[in-house]
Amino acid sequence: MITPVSAEERSARERINEGQPTVDFEQATPYDRYVGTETLHDLQHTVTDEPEELAFLVTTQVMELYFGLLRSEWLLVRAQLDADDVRSATSTLRRSVRHFEALNAAWAALSWMTPKQFNGFRDALGEASGFQSAMYRHVEILLGLKSRVQLRPYRRAPKIYAGLEEALSAPSLYDAVLKLLARRGFAVPAEVLERDLTEEYRPRDGVEAVWTEVYGSADLALRELAEVLMDVAVQFSDWKYHHVVAVRRSMGAKPGSGGSAGLKWLEQSMRRDIFPELWTARTFM
């Protein structure tokens, strides 16, 4: 358990230590207890003796942590949008863009891997595939890329499956934004506002017209919200592109570990845009 320390206590400790860090603790250091370093560093269980596998595993685990962070931030954004707090939602989204930049940068940790190095441990991973990441699925669902079929891998994990089912039935970030625009008087089509939320979002001309109107309006807060949504969309596109490049470089067009066509499947997936009318409306501005 971490014992809180006030500013006055920190100043007193500095005087006692004569400016040097504290080096004596009755238990594990407060840093270790807070971060859980022992647990973190005990999570790397490689299945081969290939030295490259550890980098692959650690990078994958780091990505999983960022997926969870993005999910937490975007759930907060959705609540802020529902409360009509546009400025807070924009601020939180802007913060999440920085998280996404760090997530995308993680691909650099694998950019050196050759096919020979990847093949050295790939077979030992069995059918393990990034496609099976439940937290990544949460991220996609929040971005509006919904598919009930893609929940099937988790049917035998009741807690995970229930969480994904709940997410599938809830509004995506884009749904929350469009409802906000409707409350602000923009003519968001009723078929959008009343659609089946478990289905993947399908672009509509009426929403495209709404975004064109938003960008032409005097409402700076809404224009800033639109632009930070575009920042998120760009980062997501970058994520998918970096994934394709990493797979292409390390394994070419071989079949995927999880039963897919590998590179071909990823390239098809890359064509699924989020916030689609924010892209297409630019033609009419």
Do 48 and 121 form a contact (C-beta atoms < 8 A)?
A: yes
> How is residue 100 written in tokens?
């996404």
Q: Is 95 annotated as a binding residue?
A: no
Tell whether 78 is in a known binding site.
no
Contact, 65 vs 73, CB < 8 A? no
Residue listed under structure tokens 């954004």: 77
Structure-block tokens of residue 54: 């550890």
Closest CA to 208 of 233, 186, 228: 186
Query: Which of these, 68, 100, 56, lies nearest to 246 by C-alpha position?
Result: 56
User: b/e map of 23-56 (b: 16 or more CB within 10 Å)?
Assistant: eeeeeeeeeeeeeeeeeeeeeeeeeeebebbeeb
Residue 58: Cβ within 10 Å count = 16
Both tokens assigned to 186: 């923009």
As annotated, the binding site includes 122, 243
**What residues are designated binding site for heme?**
243
Residues in binding site for substrate: 122
